[in-house]
Structure formats: structure tokens, C-alpha cells
Structure 1
């Protein structure tokens, strides 16, 4: 018998319940865009056919997660659900202190309220939007130090999320007293969902040790990063993903987590660390802003669901399907000539809007133009990750982002292959009309995180 693997991507689950999708016409979608100020975050979800805005909290929970919810204990203090949750976290991330929060940005807010401040500098491979905003809200500066290949959409480097070790060394040599911690984001969301290698993490750890600096992980997509290490890094191919995750966490002093990503939750997160004094300060802030330390803004049932999700996300059959199905979309777009960031990341495919619509300048927001067109053409909601998201500086000035990307984030266990085939077809039509896409201008915007609530209008 031939034991060669089959090429069909098969989901390692079957559908247990369904929810309807609403079909709309192009004219209806044009009306919805005008009502939303051409901001896809402002669309009503029922007007979206395929929602690839984010993979955060948008996945489908499993049968066993729903069953775990029934075990939720809603005691205000000392709930047994908290201890189930903490045990599951420490199975992969053996930090001394595990502090639950309602989602990842709450962990960032608490951490940088304690560590940040005017004159401080926080280096990261690449800060994502809320991380940067919480660093800067404290008065500190957020500095991105990803390797050069991580800023090149077509580089084939297998670990484009890596920290530039020489740049980190130079920053610490010049300003060590101003650096409260070093962060590494796995996978690197702003840079195309690209992984960080174990070798690079060890290098960051060594530099942190020499300068006496704690290392924190923004670990939202830890399992996907560990799978890429297993698949791409020499000497890692026979290891269990759980073991790789434990080695990653063992290199760090703490972490922030949005449990709406790899831990398979619809809500939740945590802050973890080994520093006793810092943990006490963070718990004090937690009580003021989130809730008691054994629930932290979550219901007991949420904690139980997250504990089960942590067990499921490190299963090899799931991760093989997850990474391969995302690559299926990316590879199809490459074949069609749609420019995408490569190698394909774990949780999303990133269209290179600068290459797709070169007639638009960065301040005409080509990413926004492409994202709006995707919705108008086929009801697909995506997310601009370019000058709209990152162009506005802390001093109020604006400058072009290093890349103009449109992220097609794939919710976990939510869409089937036929849904993705439809996305591919819409992207093919998008490529045909890309040379005629109008640019956009911002008509109103808040002072921070403007991409969530700004209003736009097309440039005619």
C-alpha cells in the first residue's frame, strides 16, 4: 500500500452546530460602507459575509470547551475554576504568578503602568497596536527592532519575526538605564504573522542577562510559533510542540497573553511573571481595574473554557491543519499574481497593498483602499495594517509605515475550504480592478488607536 500523504486539507473536526451568513448585494455593501465612514471596524457584523478582520476571539469553541463551561464556578474569591485555569497555564508557561485579565490589552495596561513611564524605552521585535499604545500611554517610547528581512515582504527568511540582536545590543549599550524590560512578540503580528526562532530567543535572553533586563513575551500565538520552530528550525523536527512551548517560556521572565488567540477563547487573557514585588503591584492595579485576582474580569466558566483550549491548541493534528489551511489561501493568491507577504504566516495572509496598488501614495492609504474594495466586491472584511494603523506618531505627526499590508486573519475552526475558495475568487477580481482603486483621506480620528474609530472618504 502507498503511504504517501494525501494533498487534501482535512479539518480535524466535524461541524456540530451552524449559524447563518447573510448574503448582500454590491449596492447594499456600498451603502453599508458609506454608513460606516469607510471604516471596516464600524460595519455591522451581520452585513459581513466572510469576516477576516481578526482571529482574536472569533474562533469556534469545541464540544469539550462548551462542556467545560458547565463546570464554571462563579465564586468571587478562590473559585476552583481559577485553579483549573492556573494549572493549565503553568503546564505550558511555568511562571510563579498568573494573573487573569479580561483580554490581552488589559495585561499590557497593567504591566506598563508598573514598568513604563516618561523617558523609558521598551524594545520589541515589533509592537502590535495596543501594545504600542499602552507603552506610549505610560509616557515611554516603543521601539521596533525586527531584523531587516522582517521589513521586506518578499524575503524568504524562515524566521522573519526575529529580533535584530545587534540593534538590541546597541540600544542597551546606549540606554540600558531607560529600558525596564525587553519584549518579543510571537508570532510577529505586525510583520505578517512571522515566527521567532529558538536560536534568536536564546540570543535575546543572553543579551538581557548581560544587561540585567527582564524578558517578556507577547505570546498570543505561541502554539503557531512553536509549530514553525518544529517545521523550520534545525534539530527541532522530532519534538512535541508542548515541549517547545515550555522551552520558549523558560527563556522569559514573564508574559502577556490575549487568550482570544491561540488559547481558543472568545474572551480572556493573563499576565504572568516570576518577580514577586512586581506581581504584587500588578495585582493591586488588577483589583482597581479588572477584578479580584482569582477571576480578573472573567467568569469562572471563561476560565474553564480557556483551560480546555490550552490543551487543544498544542495538538499536532490541529496545528498541522491550522498552518496548512492558512498556507492554502496564501499559495493560491501567489499563483494568481496577488502580491502577499511571504513566507505565509500562521494565523493570516497579508496582501501587500503597496505592490498591489502602486499608484497610491502611503498617505492615500493603499491598505485602506484594498480593504474597502475587498468588502465592496465580495463582502469580505479584512484589516489594514499600514499607515492608517501605524502612521500617526506619538508627537502627532504622520509618516508612512514600513509596509502597507491588508491582513486576512483566519478565525480558528470557523470557515471551511469552500469559504476560503470564495475568498480566493474575490481576491482575483480585486487584482483586476486594483489599478483603478481610489485613495482615501481621514475625515475624523481620535488621538490614539485611530484605526478603530476613524472615518474616511474616498479621493475622487
Structure 2
């Protein structure tokens, strides 16, 4: 059959709350033109993030009822631990309440002033935790990944040549860790090839630099490898995942993505001494090493979800859902990141709103317009999120100005996606009416979460 159906039945539903365009104009103004500050009840289709917003399965809900809430030595932890050990091959597993807690612990130990953490592209919280430690995050995205409209199969790849040149300039002793993000969230949800991971590993091994995987969307990345990389079409996603993790010395993961959970994360690694330091910090900040800030029920849900996500019927539906929306927009001439990524559709805000300069935050202006037009909440991945100021206070813009529409897993149907496309096309028709924004209040780190803006 040509039609790809949702590989599940809907067992429980949550009603949507509808608002009018006039109401949404007022609500956005009260939220200072930052959709993060909206109440969730005032959002009709919430594509702000795919993190923690998935629909859990009946098996996961059953697991929640089986959760062992013992403070120490919970059997739910051992289920969680063995699942991750089997998936990654890494013997040392440290639970955390979410991905950024794993990052905070890891970079508090390996980071510090004068250090560099290198990556294909770091996401916002990863970079913030690196910088909070005093270290500097440095991205080496491949050239094709910097051009949203040019299709290429693995636009999330790392520029290995630039990475090695950087090592030679700064010294391997000042680079305690390399982190490859799969899929590359900041770069359009684009996958990383196995060949690229092997090449990065070879450079890391040459200079004795540990390689960590940011594994939030590992299954989506592995499915792209199966679809697009020579030699993998007849391999299972599970076997591809085992190979991917085999090149790494450790990993971090937010279980709120590819494990379908509402909360949770983990660190996994081989290095006994590093794991000991991480657990010491975990006890201070998160909790005992067999729960790490999580309830036993959450540990159960994560363990079950990590196995469910490798179901290839699910992954086929998941990737095709993103392609479906991307294709509708491309057919109408809307500038989007191509090819479709794994978890989201990314609009090219710079091309969508060429009349809005980057220092007026075109991505943020566009997400406001999408909310007003149709109650859709999305997120800017551009100069509000990643921009910095030079010594004179002038904005140093981000590499790209994108708007991410992240599709929660197993939540919305095709008619919801058709509605999203309709809203985007309505906004595209009226794009010349959209004005830029200026910041009136911002935090020193991760400003996009709480920034207040006003129209120009």
C-alpha cells in the first residue's frame, strides 16, 4: 500500500481549546511576543518542542503502575540500566531528571576556563552548560548543512578537516571532549552519517579525545542511515544503533525525545573515574545514583520507550510525517530546510522575511505571526537563541535564522498537520506585513526562554 498509516490506535484523547485571532493578538502582546511565555491552554497546536510532549504507549502507562519507588536499589533502576547497557554497550549508567542535568554534571567536571568542547552543532542548553563551566563550545558543521535550501542526505555531519585543524591550533589537552549531536537539532534536525561518525572517532582516537554522543534522537538518526547510507538498507535500526554507539566513549540523552517519556535522561560511559565523579555530583544535585531525580515509574517508562522507538513501522510513519508537511510547503514555494529532518520542519525565516534584518529577529517575528494566524506555537532557532554581542554591543548573528515546528511523537494526526500547512501558507501570503522585533528585557543565558520583546 502507498498510504502510510499511524501504527497505533488512539486510546485516550485530550481536547483542544480554541481561540480567536483577536484573542491571540492580545495574548501574544501580554506574553511580550515570546511564545514561551504563553499559557499552554492558549495554544491550539503546540509545536514548541518534541521534548517531553510525546504520547506514551499503553505499555509505558502499565510500566508506570509497576514502578518501584524505593529510594535506593529500585528494581526499576535495574530495568532502566540494563536497557541502556544493551542499547549502548556502555556499562556505567547514571540517571538524571532530564538531558540538561546530564550536561550540567558532565561539563562541570570536564569543562572549565580555557577548555573547548567541539561538536557538529551544540544545542542551546548544551552550549549554555558548557559556557557556564567557563569552557567554550565550538561548532564544526559541514558546509552543506549551512545552506537550508540545498538538499543533501547528511547535512548534520561534522566538518572533520576543520575539527582536526582546530585540535592542532588549540592543542588536544585543551579539548576534553567532542560531542556529536544526532540528529543535529540546531542544524535543522538533519542526520549524521555513520561514515562521518567513524571519521570523527578516528580523529578523536588520534589525539586521545573522548567522543560523546548527544543521543536525544538516536533512533531517528539511525533510521536515516538505513534509508540513505550505502550498506545499511538491510540492517535493523537496532543493529545500526549498536554500531553508532560502539564508536563513542560515552553519551548523554534526554529521554523526553526518542524514549517518549515526559521526563528523564541519563549519562552512560566506559570511564570508571569519570563516572565516579559524575555520581558524586549527581548525589549533590539530583539524588541517589539509582534514581537520579526520577521516580521509579519514570525509569520504567523510559526503559520501555527505548525499545519501542526502534520499531521500524513507527519510524517509517514518524519520518514520513515530517516529509509530508515539508513537501506541502515546498510545493507552495515556502522556504524550508531541505531535505526534511527527523523531528521537525524548519522554516528559513531569513528567506521567508527578507525585509526583516537579522538584528530585528525575523524568526521570532515569524513565530508570533504563526501563533496569531492559527494558534500554532513554534520556536525560533536563530539570533535570539544563539546570537551574541561583540565588545561594542552589536549583535553577532547566528549562522541561520530558522523557525522550528517540532512534531510531538504519536500526538497529532494528518488533519492537524494539514491545518498547520494551511496556517503557514496564510502567513506566507501576508509575509510583507510582518514587522521585526526588539528586545526590551533578556537574561544573561538562554535568553530566548524568558526574553521580552516589542514590535518595531
- DSSP-derived class of the 1:350 partner: strand
The 3 A distance-change label for structure 1 pair 394 and 237 is farther
Distance in 2, matches of 1:99 and 1:219, equals 14
The Cα shift of 1:397 comes to 5.6
Residues 123-150 of structure 1: per-residue CA shift (max 9 Å, x gap): 1000000000000000001000010111
> Given that residues 136 and 394 in structure 1 are in contact (C-alpha distance below 8 angstroms), is that contact kept between their aligned partners in structure 2?
no
2:449 alignment partner in structure 1: 452
Which shifted more, 78-87 or 392-401? 392-401
Alignment of 1:351 onto 2:351? no
TM-score by length of 2: 0.98
Residues 315-362 of structure 1: per-residue CA shift (max 9 Å, x gap): 000000000011100110001111100010010000001001000100
Candidates 16, 24, 37, aligned match of 2:19: 24
Alignment of 1:259 onto 2:255? yes
- DSSP-derived class of the 1:424 partner: helix
2:387 alignment partner in structure 1: 391
1:381 alignment partner in structure 2: 377
1:87 alignment partner in structure 2: 82
Residues 104-161 of structure 1: per-residue CA shift (max 9 Å, x gap): 0000000000000000011100000000000000000100001011111012110000
1:65 alignment partner in structure 2: 60
Which shifted more, 388-397 or 419-428? 388-397
1:434 alignment partner in structure 2: 431
Alignment of 1:56 onto 2:54? no
Alignment of 1:126 onto 2:121? yes
Distance in 2, matches of 1:96 and 1:204, equals 22
> Given that residues 95 and 291 in structure 2 are in contact (C-alpha distance below 8 angstroms), is that contact kept between their aligned partners in structure 1?
yes
Alignment of 1:198 onto 2:194? yes
The Cα shift of 1:398 comes to 2.6
The 3 A distance-change label for structure 1 pair 78 and 249 is same
Question: What is the number of residues matched between the two proteins?
Answer: 454
- DSSP-derived class of the 2:439 partner: strand
Alignment of 1:225 onto 2:199? no
- DSSP-derived class of the 2:66 partner: coil
2:36 alignment partner in structure 1: 41
Q: CA RMSD in A?
A: 0.9
Distance in 1, matches of 2:293 and 2:285, equals 9
Candidates 406, 423, 434, aligned match of 2:420: 423
Alignment of 1:243 onto 2:242? no
Residues 242-291 of structure 1: per-residue CA shift (max 9 Å, x gap): 00001000000000100000011100000111100000000000000000
> Given that residues 390 and 396 in structure 2 are in contact (C-alpha distance below 8 angstroms), is that contact kept between their aligned partners in structure 1?
no
Residues 16-63 of structure 1: per-residue CA shift (max 9 Å, x gap): 000110110001001110111111000000000000000000010000
**Structure 1: 5+ residue stretches without partners:** none
Distance in 1, matches of 2:438 and 2:395, equals 13
2:399 alignment partner in structure 1: 402
> Given that residues 377 and 430 in structure 1 are in contact (C-alpha distance below 8 angstroms), is that contact kept between their aligned partners in structure 2?
yes
Distance in 1, matches of 2:389 and 2:76, equals 42
- DSSP-derived class of the 1:317 partner: helix
1:74 alignment partner in structure 2: 69
The Cα shift of 1:9 comes to 2.9
Alignment of 1:305 onto 2:301? yes
Candidates 411, 417, 422, aligned match of 1:414: 411
> Given that residues 140 and 163 in structure 2 are in contact (C-alpha distance below 8 angstroms), is that contact kept between their aligned partners in structure 1?
yes
The Cα shift of 1:392 comes to 2.1
- DSSP-derived class of the 2:240 partner: helix
Candidates 271, 274, 278, aligned match of 1:282: 278
Distance in 2, matches of 1:311 and 1:199, equals 25
The 3 A distance-change label for structure 1 pair 279 and 47 is same
1:171 alignment partner in structure 2: 166
